[in-house]
C-alpha cells in the first residue's frame, strides 16, 4: 500500500513541475516583452505558499489541476467607431463582457499603458501564449530522449535465447506442455542450433536484425535451408529442415499468414539505446496519434460516460484525468516490475502527459492558449492586409467579444474534467487485471 501512495505522490510532483514549466513558458516571454505580470501560480484553489518578488507574486496552490500567470490588460476597453469609449452597455451578454473588461483593467496603473497585454504587437502575443505549449513539447521531447537514448528500447537481438526440443500443437500443449515421444523434434533442435548462437545469415543471405531473420525464415517456406551462425566466436553453417505453420502476420496482427517457414527459436531481448533521430520520429508519431485522439475526443468521452454510469470496461487508450493517471502511477509503483522499468514508465507517463497538454492547449478556442494565439494571428493578418491595401491600421483584435463562447467552453471543460474524475474513481483504467 505504501508504494501505491508513493507512486501517486511521485506522479503529482512530476505533474506540478510540468505545470510550473508550462507557466514559465508564458512568464519569461511576457516579462521579456514588458508585460506586467502580477501573479505566477501553480495549482488552483487556496494558496499553500506564496512569496512576492518585485511586481510578481509567486506561489503554489492546493489543487494540482493546472496553473496560471496573471497579466494585466488581457482585454481591451470597448471603443466606438470614432475611438471614444462607450459609456454604457446594453443586453445581458454585453453587460457580462463589460464587467470582464473592467475587471481586466482594474490592475492597470498610471504608467502601465504600454505594459498591458492587449497593446503588444501581435507576434509578441503569439510568442507569449505559445510559450506554455512549447514548453510542454520541449519537456516531452527531453523525457522521451531520456528513455530512448538513456535507458534504451527492448529490442530482439540476433542471438538465440531458447531452442524448444519439440513442436506441439495448441491442443497438445494445453493437454501437456512437456515434450513427449510422439511430438516431432523442432527444426532448430534437429539442426543443432543452441542458445547463444548468433544468426548471421538465412539461405545464404546476410541478416543484421531479428526481424530480417524472421522474415527470411518465413519466406523459405517448408524444406531445408542453410542457417549461418556464430558460435563461440567461430562461424558455422547448419542446415535446418523448416516446417510449414500458420503464423500471425508481422505487418498486421489481425491477419494470419498460411504455411510460412517455421524454425522454432526465440531471441534474446536487450535494451538498445536509440539515436536523436529515433527520438524525433517517436515524438512525431505520438504527436500525430495525439492529434487524432483529440479529433475523436467527443466519441471517446461518450465511452467514458458509458464506463462511468453503465459499468462498461474503460478503454485503456481513452482519456483519463489526473486522478486516473495518479492511480496508474500508484499501480506501477506497487507492482513487482524491475526498478528500471518503473522509472521508464513514470518518465513515459509524464512525457505523454506533457504532449497531450501541449496539443490540447493549441486548440484555437478560448480560454485555451490556442484561442489567444488565433486572436494574435488574426490581428497580424488584418494588419498585413491593411498595409498591403494601404488602409488605416486596424485596432487590436477584441477577444472580449468571444467571452460568451469562452464561458461556454470553460463550462464544458469543467464538465469534462468532472466526468473524467468520476470515471477515474468508480471505474478506473487498470493496467493489470
pLDDT in tens, the chain (433 residues): 788 888 888 888 999 999 999 999 999 999 999 999 999 999 988 999 999 999 999 999 988 888 999 999 888 887 644 344 444 455 666 777 777 777 777 788 888 888 999 999 999 999 999 999 999 999 999 999 999 999 999 999 999 999 998 888 777 777 888 888 888 889 999 999 999 999 999 999 999 999 999 999 999 888 999 999 999 999 999 999 999 888 888 888 788 888 899 998 999 999 999 999 999 999 999 999 999 988 888 888 888 898 888 888 888 778 888 888 888 888 888 888 889 889 999 999 999 999 999 999 999 988 899 999 999 999 999 999 999 999 998 888 888 788 788 888 888 888 988 998 888 888 888 766 5
Q: How many residues does the chain have?
A: 433
Task: Supply the pLDDT for residue 79.
Answer: 60
Taking the C-alpha atoms of residue 362 and residue 31, their distance in angstroms, rounded to an integer, is: 22
pTM: 0.83
Q: Where are the alpha helices (DSSP H) in 170-321?
A: 170-175, 187-191, 210-219, 276-295, 297-310
**Residue 23 catalytic?**
yes
Span 155-272 CATH architecture:
Roll (2.30)
What Å distances lie between residue 285 and 281, 282, 290, CA to CA?
6, 5, 9
118 Cβ neighbours under 8 A, 6+ residues apart? 73, 74, 75, 76, 396
Q: DSSP letter for 46, please.
A: E
Closest to 137 in 3D by CA, of 289, 361, 322: 361
Measured on CA atoms in the order 316, 321, 327, 331, is the torsion positive or negative?
positive
Task: Supply the pLDDT for residue 189.
Answer: 92
258 Cβ neighbours under 8 A, 6+ residues apart? 246
Closest to 260 in 3D by CA, of 289, 220, 232: 220
Q: What is the dihedral of CA 197, 202, 207, 211, to 10 degrees?
A: -90
Show the cell assigned to 376. 494574435
Show the cell assigned to 382. 488584418
Is-contact 334 3, C-beta < 8 A? yes
Question: Which listed residue (23, 98, 331, 379) is catalytic?
Answer: 23
Taking the C-alpha atoms of residue 33 and residue 97, their distance in angstroms, rounded to an integer, is: 27
Taking the C-alpha atoms of residue 128 and residue 144, their distance in angstroms, rounded to an integer, is: 25
Cα-based angle 97, 407, 375 (whole degrees, multiple of 5): 75
8 beta partners: none
Taking the C-alpha atoms of residue 217 and residue 211, their distance in angstroms, rounded to an integer, is: 10
Taking the C-alpha atoms of residue 74 and residue 94, their distance in angstroms, rounded to an integer, is: 17
Q: Where are the domains of the chain?
A: 2-147+349-426, 155-272
Measured on CA atoms in the order 314, 316, 317, 320, is the torsion positive or negative?
positive
Burial tier of 268 (Cβ tally within 10 Å: 0-12, 13-18, 19+):
middle
Phi, psi of 250 (to 5 degrees): -75, -25
Is-contact 122 377, C-beta < 8 A? yes
Q: Where are the alpha helices (DSSP H) in 314-368?
A: 322-333, 339-361
Is-contact 179 276, C-beta < 8 A? no
Task: Supply the pLDDT for residue 1.
Answer: 75
Closest to 68 in 3D by CA, of 12, 16, 26: 26
Taking the C-alpha atoms of residue 311 and residue 300, their distance in angstroms, rounded to an integer, is: 15
Task: Supply the pLDDT for residue 83.
Answer: 43
Is-contact 154 262, C-beta < 8 A? no
Q: DSSP letter for 36, please.
A: -
With cell 508513493, the residue in question is: 6
Task: Supply the pLDDT for residue 432.
Answer: 60
**Other CB atoms within 10 Å distance of the CB of residue 70:** 15
Is-contact 290 360, C-beta < 8 A? no
Closest to 267 in 3D by CA, of 154, 123, 390, 138: 154
Amino acid at each position: 500500500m505504501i508504494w501505491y501512495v508513493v507512486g501517486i505522490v511521485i506522479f503529482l510532483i512530476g505533474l506540478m513541475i510540468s505545470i510550473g514549466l508550462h507557466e514559465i513558458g508564458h512568464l519569461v516571454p511576457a516579462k521579456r516583452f514588458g508585460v506586467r505580470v502580477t501573479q505566477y501560480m501553480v495549482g488552483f484553489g487556496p494558496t499553500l505558499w506564496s512569496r512576492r518578488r518585485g511586481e510578481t507574486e509567486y506561489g503554489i496552490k492546493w489543487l494540482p489541476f493546472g496553473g496560471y500567470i496573471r497579466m494585466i490588460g488581457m482585454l481591451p476597453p470597448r471603443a466606438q467607431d470614432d475611438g471614444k469609449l462607450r459609456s454604457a452597455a446594453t443586453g445581458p451578454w454585453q453587460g457580462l463582457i463589460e464587467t470582464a473588461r473592467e475587471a481586466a483593467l482594474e490592475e492597470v496603473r498610471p504608467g502601465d499603458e504600454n505594459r498591458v497585454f492587449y497593446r503588444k504587437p501581435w507576434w509578441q502575443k503569439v510568442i507569449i501564449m505559445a510559450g506554455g505549449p512549447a514548453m510542454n513539447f520541449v519537456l516531452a521531447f527531453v523525457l522521451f530522449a531520456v528513455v530512448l537514448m538513456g535507458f534504451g528500447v527492448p529490442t530482439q537481438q540476433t542471438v538465440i535465447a531458447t531452442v524448444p526440443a519439440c513442436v506441439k500443437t495448441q491442443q497438445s500443449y494445453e493437454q501437456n506442455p512437456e515434450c513427449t515421444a510422439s511430438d516431432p523434434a523442432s527444426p532448430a533442435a534437429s539442426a543443432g542450433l543452441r542458445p547463444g548462437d548468433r544468426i548471421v545469415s538465412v539461405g545464404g543471405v546476410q541478416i543484421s536484425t531479428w526481424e530480417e531473420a524472421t522474415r527470411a525464415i518465413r519466406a523459405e517456406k517448408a524444406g531445408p535451408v542453410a542457417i549461418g551462425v556464430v558460435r563461440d566466436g567461430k562461424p558455422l553453417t547448419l542446415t535446418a529442415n523448416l516446417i510449414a505453420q500458420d503464423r500471425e502476420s508481422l505487418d498486421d496482427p489481425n491477419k494470419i499468414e498460411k504455411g510460412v517457414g517455421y524454425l522454432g527459436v526465440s531471441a534474446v531481448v536487450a535494451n538498445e539505446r536509440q539515436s536523436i533521430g529515433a527520438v524525433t520520429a517517436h515524438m512525431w508519431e505520438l504527436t500525430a496519434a495525439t492529434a487524432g485522439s483529440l479529433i475523436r475526443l467527443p466519441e471517446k468521452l461518450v465511452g467514458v460516460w458509458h464506463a462511468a454510469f453503465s459499468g462498461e470496461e474503460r478503454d485503456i487508450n481513452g482519456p483519463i484525468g489526473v486522478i486516473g493517471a495518479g492511480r496508474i502511477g500508484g499501480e506501477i509503483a506497487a507492482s513487482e516490475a524491475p526498478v528500471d522499468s518503473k522509472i521508464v514508465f513514470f518518465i513515459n507517463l509524464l512525457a505523454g502527459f506533457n504532449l497531450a497538454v501541449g496539443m490540447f492547449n493549441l486548440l484555437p478556442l478560448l480560454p485555451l492558449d490556442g484561442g489567444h494565439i488565433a486572436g494574435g494571428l488574426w490581428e497580424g493578418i488584418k494588419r498585413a492586409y491593411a498595409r498591403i491595401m494601404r488602409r488605416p491600421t486596424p485596432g487590436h483584435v477584441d477577444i472580449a467579444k468571444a467571452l460568451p463562447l469562452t464561458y461556454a467552453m470553460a463550462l464544458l471543460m469543467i464538465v469534462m474534467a468532472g466526468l473524467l474524475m468520476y470515471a477515474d474513481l468508480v471505474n478506473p483504467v487498470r493496467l493489470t487485471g
